[in-house]
Amino acid sequence: MKKPVVCITDYGFSTIDTERRIVEAAGGELRAGQCKTSAEVLEFCREADVVIAQWAPLDAAVIAGLERCKGLVRYGIGVDNIDLAAAAAAGIPVANVPDYCIDDVADHTLALALALVRQLGSTDARVRAGEWAITPPLKSMPALRRMTFATAGFGRIARAVLARAAAFGCAPAAYDPYVPAEVFEKAGVRRLDVEELFSESDVLSLNLPLTKETRHFANAARLGLMKSHAVLVNTARGGLADTHALAAALAKGRPFAAGLDVFESEPLETGHPLRTAPNALLTSHTAWFSADSVGELQRLAAEEASRRLRGEDFKNTVSIT
C-alpha cells in the first residue's frame, strides 16, 4: 500500500529530522520543499495528504488543486497565508500551533515596552554623543506603577503579557469583543472599547489576529487619540498597524514611542519612514524565538499532521471568524 504523503512547502529550520521522525512513525512519507509562489506550492503538493506551510501561500488556487488533501497545518500561530474560506469550502480542516512561544513573545513584548518607557534607547544615544544628564529626554513619563497597560486582544499571549505587566504594578486592561465580560471580571482585567483602548492606555500591546477587520487596527485616527507619553508595541502581525501613519504619528510625538517586531512587509523596506522615526525600537520578527521554541514548533506541527494521517481530528482546528 502506498504511504500517505506529508508535504512541507517551505521552512527556515536547519533540519527537519523531528518532522520526519514523527511523520514516519505515523506511517507517512515526508517530502520537503522551499516553495515561494502558489504555483510552486501546487506543483509540489498536488498529491499531498497533509500540507505543512511556514510562509508559502496556501491560497484558493492551491487549495482547489489539491487532489486528496485531508488537512493544512501552519508552522505558527497566525494563518493569514492560508485562505480559510477556500479551505472550508473544500472541506479541508486547518490547524495552527497556538500553544508554542507564548512566554517568548510575552517576554519580548515586555522588553520592548520597558525599554521605551524607561527611554533606554534615547538615553543611550545621548551618552554615546557625549551628553550627560541624570533625567531622560521625556520628563513627563509616569512611573510604571501608575500606568494602564492594555492589550488589543485577550488571548493566550495577551494574558501572559498582562500578567508580566502586573508584576511591575501596572493596571491591566484589554479590548476583545469576542471575550465575555465575565471572563475579564474573573481575570481582574478592565474591559475597554476601542476608543478607550487608544485614549486611556499608557502602554498598548497589539495582540490580535490579522483579518480583514483588524488590518490597520492602529490607524492614523486612533493613533491620534493616544497620550503624548504613550507607548505602542506590536509583536503580533505587521498589518495590525498602519506603519506609515505610525511613523508620522511618532514624528508628531503622539504616541511617544513604538516597539515593533513585525511589519506589513518583511524585511522592512530600506526607505521606510519607521527606520528614521523618533523613539522607534525595531526588531526583526524575533519575538517568537528561543532555543526551546524552535523545536517545540516543529514537533507540534508534525504531531498535528500525524493526527490527520491516523484519521484523527486536529487538536487545534482554526475556525473562520
For 262, half-sphere exposure in the C-beta direction (CA atoms, 13 angstrom radius) is: 21
Instruction: Say which residues have a Cβ less than 8 Å from residue 120's Cβ, sequence separation at least 6.
Output: none
Order of strands across the sheet that contains 190-191 = 190-191, 171-175, 148-152, 203-206, 231-234, 257-260, 280-282
Residue with cell 501546487: 42
Question: Looking at 195, 266, 269, 312, which residue is catalytic?
Answer: 266
CA angle 190, 149, 277 (to 5 degrees): 140
**Residue 229 designated active-site:** no
**Cα–Cα distance for residue pair 103/19, rounded to 1 Å:** 23
- Put residue 35 in one of left, alpha, beta given phi > 0 → left and psi -120 to 50 → alpha: beta
**Cα–Cα distance for residue pair 214/207, rounded to 1 Å:** 11
Question: Looking at 237, 264, 303, 304, which residue is catalytic?
Answer: 237
The SS3 call for residue 150 is strand
Question: Looking at 215, 254, 285, 299, which residue is catalytic?
Answer: 285
**Residue 237 designated active-site:** yes
Instruction: Say which residues have a Cβ less than 8 Å from residue 303's Cβ, sequence separation at least 6.
Output: 22, 315
**Residue 285 designated active-site:** yes
Cite the active site residues. 237, 266, 285
